[in-house]
Structures are given as structure tokens and as C-alpha cells.
């Protein structure tokens, strides 16, 4: 049974430059990593495009599917109703490249921090809002008024109609 795809994420190629600068900063700060730059920079250029091409995030009617990995492939499927928070983070270096990190936390999650974290999604705000809107649709049964409120609303409307009828009768009798 295949679900209807709501939105496929695309990733900004600037994320590769962001990763490279992080690699350079980390290597420079640790000092020990400086000699390894001779090996790590060419290696980075060889595999960074493949890593980015292997990343995907898809919002379906009922879940978020995240795939990544070149050597060790990983696929996570998160039911939308289990998502408790979608955090959007932009650090100072990310701001230079106009990148955001989306972090997804779920109900019943055992570890601290995000279950899944994605960086470099184009139009991250729209992706986040799409997930939250689809989650709301799922939880409310595809209507604007939640099901439990729908019955209460019907009862209230019927009650108001009865009160209006009683008021009309009282006004006619006067």
C-alpha cells in the first residue's frame, strides 16, 4: 500500500560548502587534524556530492520518511502523529549560507535530542509547516474541527436552536 506523497524535500548544494568549512574549522581547532587535511579534503570532494545525493526526506499522508547514507544506508520512517516538535535552527555559520537544520522529536523517544536532524533543506520553513499541517489533518480526521469537538459543537447548536424557539414563543405570547 503506497501512500500519497505530500512533499519531497530538496537539498541546497551550499550544504557541501558548510560541511567543508566545519571540517576545516574542526581540523584547525584540534591542531592534530591539520596533517590529516591532506587526506580529508580530497576525500571530502570525492564523497560529499554522493552523500548529498543519497539524502532524501518525503512527507506522505501519514509519515515522514528520511533516507541517507552512502556506505551504510539508513531509512527512518516517523509517523506524523508521533512528532512532538519540529525545531528550526540556524547557527552563525549556517546564516552565512542561508541554511537551516530541522530537528524532529517524537513522543516516546528514549534518547535526548532529536530523533532525526536534517540540514540544508530548501525552503525549510515550508517543509516544516507542511509536516505540522499534515499532522494536524491526521489528528483532526481531515476536518478543521476535531472530531470530539464536532459532537460538542452539534450539541451546542441544537441547544441554541431550542433556546431561540423558546424565546420566539415567549415574545409571541407577550
pLDDT per position as a tens digit, 81-92: 999 889 999 999
- When mean pLDDT is compared across 17-21, 51-55, 102-106, 109-113, the lowest value belongs to 109-113
Give the model's pLDDT for residue 143.
46
Angle between helices 14-30 and 37-54 (to 10 degrees): 150
Strands across the sheet with 74-79, in order? 5-8, 56-60, 63-68, 74-79
The model's pTM is: 0.73
Alpha-helical runs (H) found in 31-104: 37-54, 92-97
Contact 7, 59 (CB under 8 A): yes
Please name the residue that has the C-alpha cell 489533518: 137
The helix, strand and coil proportions of the chain, stated in percent and rounded to the nearest 5, come to 50, 25, 25
Mean pLDDT, rounded, for 6-28: 94
Instruction: Give domain limits for the chain.
Output: 5-142, 144-174
- Judge: domain 5-142, CATH 2.30.29.30: yes
Which residues lie closer than 8 Å to 1 by C-beta, 6 or more apart?
none
CA 161 to chain centre: 43
Contact 96, 49 (CB under 8 A): no
Contact 120, 59 (CB under 8 A): no
pLDDT per position as a tens digit, 93-129: 999 999 999 999 888 766 666 678 999 999 999 999 9
The x, y and z cell numbers of residue 141, run together, are 480526521
pLDDT beyond 50 at 80: yes
pLDDT beyond 90 at 132: yes
Beta strand pairing call for 101-106 and 83-89: antiparallel
Q: How far apart are the first and last CA of the chain?
A: 66
Amino acid at each position: 500500500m503506497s501512500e500519497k506523497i505530500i512533499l519531497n524535500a530538496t537539498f541546497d548544494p551550499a550544504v557541501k560548502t558548510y560541511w567543508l568549512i566545519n571540517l576545516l574549522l574542526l581540523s584547525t581547532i584540534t591542531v592534530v587534524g591539520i596533517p590529516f587535511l591532506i587526506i580529508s579534503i580530497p576525500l571530502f570532494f570525492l564523497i560529499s556530492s554522493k552523500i548529498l545525493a543519497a539524502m532524501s526526506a518525503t512527507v506522505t499522508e501519514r509519515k515522514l520518511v528520511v533516507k541517507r547514507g552512502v556506505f551504510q544506508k539508513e531509512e527512518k520512517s516517523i509517523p506524523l502523529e508521533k512528532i512532538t516538535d519540529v525545531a528550526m535552527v540556524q547557527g552563525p555559520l549556517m546564516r552565512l549560507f542561508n541554511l537551516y537544520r530541522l530537528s524532529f522529536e517524537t513522543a516516546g523517544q528514549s534518547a535526548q535530542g532529536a530523533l532525526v536532524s536534517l540540514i540544508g533543506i530548501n525552503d525549510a520553513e515550508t517543509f516544516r509547516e507542511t509536516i505540522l499541517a499534515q499532522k494536524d489533518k491526521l489528528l483532526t480526521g481531515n476536518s478543521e474541527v476535531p472530531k470530539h469537538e464536532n459532537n460538542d459543537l452539534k450539541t451546542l447548536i441544537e441547544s441554541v436552536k431550542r433556546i431561540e424557539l423558546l424565546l420566539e414563543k415567549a415574545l409571541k405570547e407577550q
